[in-house]
Amino acid sequence: MYNSSKILLLFIFLTISCSKDTPSNSDPILDIEFDELGSDGPYLYGETYYGRKSYVTYYPGNIPIILSIPHGGDISPSEISNRTYGVSVTDSNTIELGIAIRNYFFSNYNVRPYVVINNLKRTKLDANRDIVEAAQGNMYAERAFDEFHYYINSAREEITTNFNTGFLFDIHGHGVNPDGFYDMRTWIGYLLSGDDLDNSDNYIDQNISIDNTSIYSLVNTSNKTLSNLLRGPNSLGTLFEDALYTALPSSNSPSPEGMRYFSGGYNTFLYGTNRNFDFNAIQLEFPFPDLRDTSQSRGTFSSSFVQIIQKYIQTHTGIDVLLID
């Protein structure tokens, strides 16, 4: 729709005298110009950036981790009409969870992940879809979408400059399945479908290209097989299980076996498959009870999550995210 950093939208309402076919419209000429993306930078560690009307929050960090939180927002401005198709369910308390993780990193290790939050309610913007479905033509929602990704891109650029590689964790929450069953496992998405995961390790390693995953960079770096990284002893899911948070895929739950499972959405694809960057993206779908429901459970989970992530990244890349100067 536009290809310059300046967005200029000019609606000229024809007067009735111009054409009998033009509906009567008394609105004044509307001339809206957004600030250039990035004009609120440079983005400094320890500072906070809010985007236009605080629809998006960006906390720059100093370790090779980005937490993106697309579905936890609750702002419903009247300038953005409700989306008319697609999913509109809020992932409750995922912003609070992301902040708890950020706080745990800082309080205990004096480091911070990069955190990018969409504060708009999902009825206004779905920040885990392409812009067409995400914003559905509303220019203010499109602006928030652009800011959300501008901040993530800025974080990714800084991380790859400083660490050569990095991780985006796209944070979500899942609820009761349509059949009434509540799966208490964290669903970890690498873009491989449930059907892909239902295969044997041998089949996966011989027939599924790492190009089709969102952890291409990690598989290359670690010298582990794909199946090992998905559900071996040092896979993310197994490290969750070791910390007593059940997860899928993992050693104990190698595949969904036909059950409901989310393999990763737009953000996981966008940041996990771009070969111009040595970067990985993983979608995390957290259950609500005992993990993100209360401040106490979020705090307890945050302490485990930080250890899990530290071990995961150090094992496979050699980077200790808790010992960054």
Site of interaction with Zn ion (CB under 5 A):
71, 91, 172
Strand partners, 57: 117
Q: Which residue is nearest to Zn ion (CB)?
A: 172
Q: How far is the CB of 146 from Zn ion (least distance, A)?
A: 20
Cα–Cα dist 266/262, whole Å: 12
Residue 169 or 216 having the CB closest to Zn ion:
169
Residue 136 or 165 having the CB closest to Zn ion:
136
Q: Tokens 């996966």 identify what position?
A: 204
Q: How far is the CB of 172 from Zn ion (least distance, A)?
A: 3
Q: Report helix, strand or coil for 161.
A: helix
Q: How far is the CB of 169 from Zn ion (least distance, A)?
A: 13
Looking at the chain, how many residues does it have? Answer: 325
Q: How far is the CB of 292 from Zn ion (least distance, A)?
A: 12
Residue 91 or 158 having the CB closest to Zn ion:
91
Strand partners, 117: 57, 69
Nearest by Cα to 56 from 42, 82, 75, 39: 75
Residue 71 or 112 having the CB closest to Zn ion:
71
Contact call for residues 197 and 230 (beta carbons, < 8 A): yes
Residue 125 or 226 having the CB closest to Zn ion:
125
Cα–Cα dist 228/244, whole Å: 20
Nearest by Cα to 312 from 104, 2, 75, 63: 63
Q: How far is the CB of 156 from Zn ion (least distance, A)?
A: 20
